[in-house]
Chains A and B, each alone.
Chain A
Amino acid sequence: MAINLKELAKKEELFTPGHRLCAGCGTAVLMRQVMLAVEGPVVISMATSCPFVSTATYPYTSWKVPWIHSAFENAPATISGVEAAYKALRKKGKVTQDIKFISMAGDGGTYDIGFQALSGAIERGHRFLHICYNNEAYMNTGIQRSGATPLGAHTTTSPAGKLIPGKREFRKDLTAIIAAHDAPYVAQTTPFHWRDLMTKVQKALAVDGPSFINVLTSCHRGWRSDIKNDMQILRLAVDTCYWPLYEVENGKWKLNYKVRNKLPVIEWIKPQGRFAHLLKEENQPIVAKIQQKIDENWEKLLAKCSAD
């Protein structure tokens, strides 16, 4: 169904205020949007992360839906268990309602330490949606590099120093990796693109099988950006083709936002302090390398989307 803000504003907020995420946290924006998009009962399993420690601190919870946390690397495995219980108890008539299942984790809990549990749960075909709140580093522990951290970014474990200019490796393309699992619905988006994000959440939850949404979300602490501009930085991620909006539905690749005036990647780099060293003359080859990679990936994506 079409997303209409005026209609949405009438809904009950299932993610309540009083949470302790930072002022201007992109992940908090995402959580609200996800919970506004959800229709009907859901159960959530969340990995250890900022939104875990900030939204469920005994005796306070920001959740008005059943919610469980048990560890960092196992949110998809935990929700597999809840979903298995649902199947078993439904068959026995002990549960009668239709219930949807969501696991959520950051890029650490999705790309790295939680990758195995996610890959396994998708391969087993559980009916659940995994949402990755991807701010491209381990922000909860104080900005350490992850498999999602882009080339050149400064983090506390890939610091920009006198010898080494930030992270030396490209991030991995997790959305494509999950698409390669042949999950029926896989997509990426950002909370700036709220309509896109909420539509994708609804599509994913309607699927009879596993689904995955990789959400690029801002963290001004880690990105060293101006808090109020964070939504605009997410817009630039898409407009530079650094983070294209696309979905893979039953194997069919589709671009959800065709970027007509592709901006140079420097526009995405400039407002973020984690890339400050890349503005130096001697680091221009790194910027060129990033641009080249983006261009190649964009062409590949266009080819995949038009081939179908």
Chain B
Amino acid sequence: MRKLQGWKDIPIGTAIIEAGSSVKYLTGEWRNARPEHNKDKCTNCLLCWIYCPDGAIIVEDSQVTGINYDYCKGCGICAAECPPKVKAITMVKNQN
């Protein structure tokens, strides 16, 4: 359980002073289908990356190296937008 702060401890005026703190809020458990990435098929066009609503496609040195399951909500857009001739991402149902 996270510790809730008291009124004297919170910054004034509703401010959140830790930029990008939502990374501590994991949304991966929302998923009811899991994208699986096949590196061998992938052409690294990065369409999956630019269409991902959750920034959950991991790109290192211009290569897709995996999926960040901490945040991936399983929407399936990455698999749908992977070009038809490539199809490097498949959705596996009922798997978190």
Contact = CB atoms under 8 A, between A and B. Distances in A.
Interface string B14-27: 10101111111111
A112 B41 CA distance: 47
A229 B80 CA distance: 7
A23 interface: yes
B68 interface: yes
B52 A23 contact: no
Contacts of B46: 5-6, 9
Contacts of B77: 24, 29, 227-228, 230-231
A60 B51 contact: no
Interface in B53-72: 53-56, 59, 62, 68, 70-71
Nearest to A230: B77
Interface in A224-263: 227-232
Most buried by B among A16, A191, A230: A16
Contacts, number: 118
Contacts of A62: 20, 22
A226 to B, nearest CB: 9
Q: In terms of DSSP, what is the predominant structure of the interface of chain B?
A: loop
B80 A63 contact: no
A1 to B, nearest CB: 16
B31 to A, nearest CB: 8
A20 interface: yes
Nearest to A25: B53
A161 interface: no
B54 to A, nearest CB: 5
B88 interface: no
Contacts of B62: 6, 9-10
Given A20-B27, A194-B50, A231-B80, A13 B19 contact: no
Q: Which of A17, A21, A63, A228 has the most CB of B within 10 A?
A: A17
B16 A58 contact: yes
Given A18-B27, A58-B14, A228-B80, A24 B75 contact: yes
A52 B22 CA distance: 13
7 contacts: A9-B62, A17-B70, A29-B52, A29-B77, A60-B16, A61-B20, A62-B20
Interface of A: 5-6, 8-10, 13-26, 28-29, 32-33, 36, 55-56, 58-65, 191-192, 194, 227-232
